[in-house]
Structures are given as C-alpha cells and as structure tokens.
Structure 1
C-alpha cells in the first residue's frame, strides 16, 4: 500500500511539474495565449506631436489609449484565468503539513523535557463526477469566448468613434476652407462694386449690399473655425490626448461611392449575422448556459474520488526513549447526495430559465443587427447619391458665379444676380463638404454594423494611405 501511495504521489507531482514546465508557473495551462494582446493593434507611438497623422494613425492611437479597450482586454484575461481555475480540477491536489512541539515540566526536583516532530502528506483526486468537471470547463471556455468577442465589439466601437471624430474634423476643416473661399468671392464682389461706383456705373446700394455680403461671409468663416476647433478637441479626446496637444492631421485617402457595394444589402446582412462580435458573444453565452445546466445536474449525482495520506511522527524525552511512528492510508470514496432539500431541482430550473433568457437575448440582438445593417446601408446609399449630386451642384454653381461676376464687371449684370450666385456657390461648397465626409463616415458605420471594422480593416486602411 505504501509503495502504491508513493507512486501515485510521485506521478501527480511529475504531471504537475511537466505541465508547469511546458507553459511556465505563471500560466501552466497556457490560457493567456487564448486572449488577444493589445500588441495585436500594432506599436503604440509615444511621441506623435509634430507628426502628420493619417486615419490609420488616429485609429491605432485611439485603440492604444482608450480605457475601454484596456478594460475589455482585462475582462478577457480574467475570463481566461477562470478557465485555468476550472482546468485545475483535472489535476490532483497535494498538501503537506507539519508540526514541532517542545515541552518542559518540573515537579519538585524532577525535570522532564520532551520533543516531538510530525509531518504528513496527503493527496486527493476526483476520478468521476458524471461530467460535472468537464461541464465546468466548457462553461469557463464559453465565457472566455464571450469575453473575447465582447472585447472585439469594444474595439470596433472605439474604431468607429475615432474614425467618426476624424471625419468630423476633416469636414470642419474643409468647411473652413470653403467659407474662406466664399469670403474671398464676397471681397471680390465688393471690390467690383466699389470700382463701378467710382466710375458712376453703380449706386451706393450696390456697394452696401456687397459689403453686407462680405460681413456675412466673415461671420460664416468665424463660426466654421469655432466648429473646427471643437472638432479638433473631440478627436484629441478620442485619441486619449489633450486638446492642447500640437497635432497635425493628413487628409483622408481619396474614395468615391461604389454602386455595386450599395446594391448588396442582402449579402451584407448575412455577413453581419456571421461576423458581428456581439452576436458571437451572445452565442458563446448560450453555450456557457448549456454547460452550466450540465454542471448543475452533475452536482446532484455521485462523485468518485481517491484520497491517500502518508505521515511520520518522531518523539524524544530527555533521558528517556526515542520513538518513531509512520503510517499511510489510501481510500476510494464515493459520495451520493440522496436528498438536498430540492436544491438541485431548483438550481436546474434556474439554469434552464437562464438558457432561455440568453437565447431570447441572442434572437433580439440578431433582429437589431439586421435593422442596424439596413439603416446603415440606406444611409450610405443616401450619402452616396448626395455626394454625386453635390458634385454637379458645385460645378454648376461655380460656373454661375464666375459668369455673374464677369457680367457685373462688364456692366451688364446687377449686384443682386451676383450676390445670389455667390450665395448659391457658398451653399454648394458647404453641401459638397458635408456630403463628402458624411459619406466617408457612413462607410465606416456600415462596416461596423456588418462587424468588419476590426484590425484587418485597420491594416487595409494603412495600405491605402501609403
């Protein structure tokens, strides 16, 4: 019996040592390798002030600095650790205990001193529990999958927020440029009105109306500059930077609407059902709930385990005898919960209801995903049509403004026609800017609705901008 116990103990210790040697004592089951690393998003640059940042840089810096991504990765690591804790049930447990006692007493002139040392080693291993141990591991593994998928969903949300803030700044910056062009046109109109007034070909009203138009153009430009400054602060905040940081941003890579892509909404919905990370997280929670039912049911069934122990005790009395006592035991144990006050029954009912809840939540989310893809698709189509129309509008307004200014300078046009044409041109510039960057933002919104706004998309953006 002692030889068998020693062999069992040595084998258990050897298995534990080999497992620890394979992956390191800090992660014997290599569960941390199942969690995406923040390094997967790329190198996080520390010194970016003075560097011209493109869209890919903005997104990468946001992913590095945003607390939401750090929290998501921490939650995934926690779930991985829970999986490791569940897998520990596959190994035996070993415990070592010991004690040392020194006693001294005196009765009259008689003194006695005794010393005693004892040590014991015990091992326990669960042999069979009707699948409860495996169900616990499956539950932890599914929860880790859910945490990883939720982390991916968080990443895509941060991705979209950074891209939206970037395009908002680009739109505001282009709006400032458009307002400055309109201000220059208004200043040219005022100059033409003054020249015609000097030669007696225009009335003071012409000059005053042109001056009023210039003041309005200046006011529009000042408002646009304020909007641009606020958009800059919003983007800096999304990147985890201070609004006072000296950041420079490059224009986005040129792109135009894709009519073929806009006509494949059915395909986009099917893709979203397959690759949306929040749907993947919901599916993983369903698997976790199913495994939890099996674990709860197994708790009401017998468990078979083996326990073994080895002990040694030594005692000595001063001037007396020396004693050494050793012993060992091994036992095969079976426990059967005959009656638990219906606890297992109700725990099973609760687990089954939780499974129904997770399935209903998944179904509701699937409907929301379909609606989000449909709405994002329709918004992209609308913005694409608006962009194509704004191109025509800008071209015709530009031609009309140039013709009206030429006619006015030649003395065959009036100031009202010129100011009307310039107002239409200013409006066309702003509408074109809004349409262009609204379309850019709509592309990313659709990509996020489909579930494609991941690190692969970031690499594609970087290649486009190189």
Structure 2
C-alpha cells in the first residue's frame, strides 16, 4: 500500500484567482435571486394596488347608480306633475341604464383583478381574496428623500447593479487565473509505502520531493485564453457602466413620476368636494324647476369623473412608489393604503 500527499507551494496566484472567481460567481447567483425576488414583490404590489383601485371604482359606480336613481325618481315626480317633459324622463332613464351597465362591467373587472392578484401569489385565480379597502380620505404616501439621495442609495442597493458589479469581479478573477496558468508552479509531495517482497522482510519506504512545472509551449492556448478573458472583462465593465446609467435614469424618472402623482392629489381632492357640492345644488334646483335634467346629468357626470380621478391618483401614487422602491432596491415611503 502507498499513500501520497502533494501540495502546491507557489502558483503565482492561480489558486487564489480560482477561489475568487468561484466566490464572485456565488455573489452573482445571490444578486440574481434578489433581483427575481424584488421583481415578484413588485408584481404582487402592482396587482394589489390595481385590485384596491378597481374595488374603489366599484364603490364609486355604486354611488353613481344610487345618485342616478334619485335623479330618475325626481324626473318621474316632475313628469307626473307636468313640470318635466317626457324627453327629460327618457334622459334620466338613459343615464340610469348607463350607470348600471358601467357598474356591471366594473364588477367583472374586480373579479379579474382578484384573479390576477391570486395568480401572482401562486394561488388559483378563482381564490377569493379579502383586502382592506382603499382609504380615499388618506393622503398619498410621503417620501422625504431627494432624487440624488435615492440615486446614490441605488448604487449599493439595486440588485441588478450589484449583479453586474459581481460579474466584473468574476471576469477579473478569470483574467488573473488565465495569466497565472501560463506561469511556473512549485509543489511539494511526500509518499509513504509499505512493501512486501518474497524472501525479504516487509519494509517502509518514504519519499519527499519538490516539483517545478514550467509550461514551455501550449500552442498559444494560454495567450488566447488570456485575450478571451480580458475581452469578457471589458464587456462586463461596459455592462456595469450601462447598468449604472440605466439605474440612475430609472430612479430619476420613477421619483418624478411619484412626485407628480402626489402633487396632483390636492387638486383631485378639491375637485371631488366641489363636484359633490355642485351636484347637491343642481339637484335641489331641479326639484323646484330652476334647473334642467341636462344640468343634473352634467353635474352627476362631473362628480363621477372626479371620483375616478381621485381614486386613480391615489393608486398611481402607491404604484409609482412601489416602482421607485424596486428601482432603488429597498422599501421606501411611510404610509400604507
């Protein structure tokens, strides 16, 4: 039996370079996983806010139907009293039918949004989900960080940028490995044997030696391998620069998209309040004959549109914040819907 042990004493960094490449490749895999997780989280958030918005629009459509029902009842009373024409009655009925049609369609939109959120959560689309309603009286989420601050944070937190940076480390280690593979290496080896021979007593054998390996000619394989790894390194560095530029641009755009949605909220809220008061005034005037059914329907349409605008504004602000969080690579904001 024989036992041999060998160890490389010096290889001009070949072993270290291979270890560094393997470690950096592990980082690449980890950052890729982080990127996938954040992508799934954003998809869930987007589907969640879409469902919130559609549920709020459904409630708004129900209010519109109730208001149109009051308008129709008022038109019928005035028509029986001879104070409204049959045309006004038909207009009120048409508005009521349109509101009911919109409500029916919105119910199906909500069911579709529920299925989308359930699928995003890896559940069956038929799964019934119950979520808290959107608080229309609550202000949009707040963000106190400047765009430049978020752009700087993204340079260290964005997983796509981290992945590109780790890929550069992989290629740099591969270049060192290729360069070291063409250089000499020094190793030491030791062996032990226990020999049995006929006519002789068994004996131990020990050997210790040093090995110097010098690559003389490899058909330019080492040269080509170095050039290839250098080209891959240059490409990875170029990808890193492009990823950095893209990340900064995305954070900048998402930041201002969010700020735009937040800035539009006060106007949308004021529009809703004034539209509600305007409808109350016009309905009161219509009952005493000081306004026409066209005035009532116009005020009702304005109120419905104001509700839609406010709801969409709130939903857009939360979606924009989620998108900004994904671009930066970390959760942002204070409020929850």
Aligned with 2:159 (options 277, 284, 296)? 277
SS in 1 for 2:193: strand
- Paired with 1:349 and 1:370, the residues of 2 have a C-alpha distance of 32
What's the C-alpha RMSD, in Å, of the aligned pairs? Answer: 2.1
Match of 1:171?
A: 53
Return the alpha-carbon distance in structure 2 between the equivalents of residues 252 and 274 of structure 1. 34
How far apart, CA to CA, are the structure 2 residues paired with 1:188 and 1:315?
A: 114
Counterparts of 1:292 and 1:145 in 2: how far apart (Å)?
A: 15
* 1:179-210 C-alpha deviation (Å, 9 max, x unpaired): 11101111110011111112221111111111
C-alpha deviation, 1:325, in angstroms: 5.0
By relative contact order (CA 8 Å, sep 6+), the higher-ranking structure is 2
Instruction: Name the structure 1 match of 2:92.
Output: 210
1:339-354 paired onto structure 2 within 5 Å: 339-354=217-232
- For the residue of structure 2 that corresponds to 1:329, the secondary structure is strand
CA contact (8 A) 2:193 2:206 kept: yes
Match of 1:442 among 320, 328, 331: 320
SS at match of 2:23: helix
Give, in whole Å, the separation in 1 of the partners of 2:296 and 2:265.
Answer: 26
Q: 2:235 aligns with which of 348, 357, 361?
A: 357
Q: Secondary structure in 2 aligned to 1:249? A: coil
Match of 1:129 in 2: 11
The structure 2 residue matched to 1:230, chosen from 112, 125, 131, is 112
Q: Does 2:176 align with 1:298?
A: no
TM-score w.r.t. structure 2 length?
0.93
The yes-or-no answer on 1:327 pairing with 2:205 is: yes
In structure 1, the residue matched to 2:289 is: 411
Q: Distance in 2 between matches of 1:251 and 1:218?
A: 22
- Give the Cα–Cα distance (whole angstroms) in 2 for the partners of residues 382 and 433 of structure 1: 15
Distance 1:287 1:259 in 2: 34
Q: Which residue of 1 aligns with 2:249?
A: 371
Q: Which runs of 5+ in 2 are unaligned?
A: none
Counterpart for residue 451 of structure 1: 329
Deviation at 1:122, TM superposition (A): 2.0
Aligned residue number for residue 157 of structure 1: 39
Aligned length: 334
Within-5 A mapping of 1:395-434? 395-434=273-312
Give the Cα separation in 1 of the matches to 2:43 and 2:290: 52
Indicate conservation of the 8 Å contact 2:55/2:133, yes or no: no
Aligned pair partner of 2:66 in 184, 196, 207: 184
Q: As a proportion of its length, which structure holds more strand? A: 1
Distance in 1 of aligned mates of 2:304 and 2:280: 13
Change (3 A) 1:188 1:136: same
SS at match of 1:243: coil
Q: Provide the C-alpha distance between the structure 2 equivalents of 1:252 and 1:399, rounded to a whole number of angstroms.
A: 23
> Is 1:256 matched up with 2:140?
yes
2:53, 2:134 within 8 Å by CA — same for their partners in 1?
no
Deviation, structure 1 residue 150: 2.1
Preserved contact between residue 158 and residue 328 of structure 2 (Cα < 8 Å): yes
Query: What residue in structure 2 maps to residue 193 of structure 1?
Result: 75
Q: 2:23 maps to which residue? A: 141
Instruction: Please report the TM-score for the alignment, with normalisation by the length of structure 1.
Output: 0.68
Moved beyond 3 Å, runs of 4+: 251-255, 257-261, 313-316, 321-326
